[in-house]
A and B are shown apart, each in its own frame.
Chain A
Amino acid sequence: MRKWALIGLVAAALVAATTVPVSGQTGSLRMAIPQNEGALNPYTYVTGLGWNLMTLVYEPLFTPDADNIPRPWLVRRYTTSRDGKTWSFTLHPNLKWHDGRPFTADDVKFTYEYVRRNTHSRWTPQVRNIESIETAGPTALTIKLTTASSGFLAQPLADLPILPRHIWESVTEPRRFNNVVGSGPYQIAEIKEGQFYRLVANDGYFGGRPKVRELVLPIIRNDSVAFTALKAAEIDTYVRPVSPELVAEFEKASGIKLARGAGYVSTILQFNLEHPLLREVKLRQAIANAINTRLMVRLLLLGYGVVGSPGYIHPDSPFYNPEVTFTANKAKAVQLLNEAGYVDRDRDGIRDAPDGTPLRFTLLTLAGNPIRVRGADLIRTWLRDVGIDARVLVQEDASIIAQVWPDFDVCKGRKFDMAVFGWSAPVMNRTTNLRDLFHSDCRFGTINIGGYRNSVVDQLGTDLAATVDVAKQKKILFDLQKVIAMDVPIHVLFYQDGIYAYRADKHTAWVYQKGQGIVNKLSFVDPPKP
């Protein structure tokens, strides 16, 4: 018995004492990610973050710069016809695929046609408007559009990564195809399902040498474990933002730096505008006035965030209308409710509509997101103060989607009262964002999950989608923000700042992309010289 105990102890000590060298190469960066991203090719990557990683391997023709403005990347020169319908491009010469084959205009034409045939939720809608694509030699091509389109430069040009024709042309089930030959600054060297990805720099890259020689992407499933690993220098950065309560701790930690900037992720109170009570604008305005969003930013985000703009657009966006402002006022809320005849008729502490229906609502919120759960609870308290009863229902993502956005198809209607919801950063960056969010036709208002209807908004949205001139786009968006702020189809609560922590000894050339964070192509490779 004693003998075994001794052997056990020695074995344990051996195991504990042997330190395994951690891939020790200089220029190796360990960047933890929270979940699998398939084979990191255009049809298998999973999240928005995965898109950023995938575009290190597969490249779109253009790339958004630090201000999210699309800049030519694989393209050297381009021209647009006066009517905005004809786009001509000249590619960089000497572009190559990772397997050594030349990258040509033919690959571009193939890809744009491929995503039209093989449905991809992101790209198939983006190429809908293309009428024809003609190549002229290996580096020249012309794309003709059916109608002028405001978002064409951002999507698909700066969004759709080009596939190698010689590999993909025979692929009929792209979602089951795990090939990883791309043309980008990084090549995939190793994928261990559920464990890690390893990418190595493509030194023959046409745009120059990538900034980091090797990227190791371990999957860490839990945020607090990931941040512990960062502090213990087991990883060099974690791709998710630091939660507000950890910021002070990381500011003090040695060897760790923080990159901070605007966050375009929105947190909103979404109304169901088909609800018999919530369709009344006075009630929605009253609810908005009862919610102290300033205090929310202080309590929930510890100040690391921006109070929501009533027109949805983030104040740091070039399209933000500074004249559209809103300050919550509880007395105003009470006044609005009284004026509209919402008074407590049965003396139960809850106001009733003129027809006697009590102002009782459910408020859905996401279980996995503590900030939203606490936010929902604050809203419940504040609404109670003005005589409105909101019952908070905390549920997991798929259940919430099933009620708020069944099958992710706005045309299928909705079954909820109110929800603390949110949109990711790319929604803010879409040129047509306010049309997508508020157009009453579900083919255009593809994320109008509240079922909002306003003919003025519909007209402005339609105009916006067909406007190529940026100054004119801006004017339309300014008008849209004004109408939205009056009508309150959603109430924007706040935008959480993006705060990212990284170890300063490994990589410092991080580029903060406005509203999005530091995990983007510009952090790993400089834009190619034209």
Chain B
Amino acid sequence: MWRFFAGRGAQYLLVLGLTVTLNFALPRMMPGSPMIFLAGEDVGFLEPQQRAQLYALYGLDQPQWRQFLTYLGNLARGELGYSFQRGRPIAAMIGEHLPYTLLLVGLALVLATLLGAALGALAAWRRGGPFDLGTLGVAMLFESVPSFWLGMILIAVFAAGLKWFPIFGAVTAGAALSGWPMVVDRARHLALPLATLTLITIPGTYLIMRYSMLAVLGEQYIATARAKGLAERVVLRRHAVRNALLPVATVFMLNLGFVASGATVTETVFSYPGIGRLLYEAVLNRDYPVLQGTFFIITVSVIAANILADLAYPFIDPRVRRR
């Protein structure tokens, strides 16, 4: 048992080390320099020594290996550094964007898993019936719809058209709200991005659940349960669904790790201030420290989710425990 955990621990450390290195290397391998974002629009008018001064200010005049050591040292001290472009501490920027992403993507994942599993189970239970074929068709449709397009449609219908929800943002800009009105305001702003993300996430879970359920329904123990004269509902819930949920749980665990990475496209369409959007802008701006910082947080959360999955699996699937 301990040897198992020590082995896993070493594995995770190795993964962490590799990704930390990649986080440093990848942004620098992109073509283009961060100079304009350090200096602003009129960078062309600077004299060479002023450019050099700017590079030195950000440590970019140092050789790559020294920049890498500085980066590692800072990371070890929990120091994510300052954004090139915004001049603010990256920890604070991530701190502002992360809650929105956790709320949006986390909630969408939970909702999509619950709905997808329920719909998938019912569809398999009534295989070939109108519910099965109907949901299958709809699932295929949403599986292939680009989230950008879906978001625009939801905006056109429910925000611009029916005016049920606001068109953009996470809060009403400039409105000083507190208490319930604030909660309601945030919920209204969350509704459409959440719907977009949930709708495009459901089909994955739905399809997995449906196939897993079909496999389970063919098992001997289902026939046995029925032969014992159990009510159909009991067979469905206690014998079929519980066993069919295993692959769904696995996928859920995997997705959990990526919650922190945000949903760039959905966040862009709705101007939702999440991590995905922060990351995308950092890529465009060649804001190396922000890229490193957000990738680091994402890496850590993916690894954390994997550890969680490793720990949780024996409880979900007793067969793993026995092995």
Q: Which of B170-187 contact A (CB under 8 A)?
A: 170-177, 181, 184-185, 187
Nearest B residue to A401 via CB reads: B32
Q: Which of B121-174 contact A (CB under 8 A)?
A: 152, 155-156, 159-160, 163-174
Contact status of A405 and B44, CB under 8 A, knowing A38-B86, A177-B87: yes
- Choose among A16, A121, A192 the residue with the greatest number of B CB atoms under 10 Å from its CB: A121
Does A218 sit within 8 A of B, measured CB to CB?
A: yes
Residues of B within 8 A of A119 (CB): 39, 46, 50, 53-54, 57
Contacts of A398 in B (CB 8 A): 30-33, 284, 286
Is A460 in contact with chain B by the CB < 8 A criterion? no
Segment with Cβ contacts to A, from B17-25, B207-215, B219-227, B271-279: B271-279
Interface size class of B (residues with CB under 8 A): 35 or more
A22 vs B177: C-alpha distance in the bound complex, in angstroms?
10
Knowing A16-B165, A20-B184, the reply to whether A196 touches B53 (Cβ < 8 A) is no
A30 within 8 A of B: yes
Contact assessment for B43 and A218 in the assembled complex, using a CB-CB cutoff below 8 Å: no
Q: Which residues of B contact A39 (CB under 8 A)?
A: 87
Check A408/B35 contact, CB under 8 A, given A44-B86, A220-B271. Answer: yes
Contact of A121 among B43, B166, B284 (CB under 8 A): B43
Asked if A193 meets B96 with Cβ closer than 8 Å, knowing A20-B184, A20-B188, the reply is yes
B43-61 interface mask toward A, CB cutoff 8 Å, 1 = contact, 0 = none? Answer: 1111110110110010000
Interface residues in A389-414 (C-beta closer than 8 Å to B): 396-399, 401-402, 405-411
| A426 and B42 alpha carbons, distance in the complex (Å) | 10
Interface mask (B254-294 → A, CB under 8 Å = 1, otherwise 0) = 00000000000000111101000110010010100000000
CB contact under 8 A between A46 and B40, given known A18-B184, A220-B168, A399-B32: yes
- Which of A225-233, A278-286, A320-328, A356-364 faces chain B? A225-233
Let me know if A354 is at the binding interface, CB within 8 A. no
The answer to whether B54 and A446 have CB atoms under 8 Å apart is no
Which one, A125, A173, A216, contacts B42 given CB within 8 A? A125
Q: Return the contact of B44 from the options A35, A47, A232, A410 (Cβ within 8 A).
A: A410
Within the assembled complex, what's the spacing in Å between the Cα atoms of A36 and B48?
A: 28
A198 touches B174 (CB 8 A): yes
Closest B residue, CB atoms, query A218: B173
Residues 167-202 of chain A, each 1 if its beta carbon lies under 8 Å from chain B, else 0:
000000101111000000000001011111010000
A interface residue count range (under 10 / 10 to 19 / 20 to 34 / 35 or more): 35 or more
- B28 part of interface (Cβ distance < 8 Å): no
Asked if B93 lies at the interface with its beta carbon under 8 angstroms from chain A, I say: yes
Residues of A within 8 A of B82 (CB): 176
Question: With contacts A194-B273, A225-B167 known, is A231 near B181, CB below 8 A?
Answer: no
Q: Most chain-B CB neighbours within 10 Å: which of A43, A125, A224, A410?
A: A125
Q: Is B239 an interface residue (CB 8 A)?
A: no
- 23 A-B residue pairs with Cβ-Cβ distance under 8 Å, sorted by A, are A15-B184, A15-B191, A16-B164, A23-B172, A36-B281, A119-B57, A175-B87, A176-B82, A193-B96, A193-B97, A193-B273, A196-B174, A222-B271, A224-B152, A225-B155, A228-B160, A232-B163, A396-B284, A398-B30, A398-B32, A399-B31, A406-B33, A443-B47
| Apart from the given pairs A18-B188, A23-B175, A193-B88, 9 other A-B contacts in the complex at a CB distance below 8 Å | A20-B188, A22-B172, A121-B46, A192-B273, A225-B269, A401-B32, A402-B32, A408-B43, A446-B45
Can you list the 10 inter-chain pairs with the closest CB atoms, starting with the nearest?
A398-B32, A216-B174, A121-B39, A196-B173, A218-B173, A194-B273, A122-B42, A408-B43, A125-B45, A176-B87
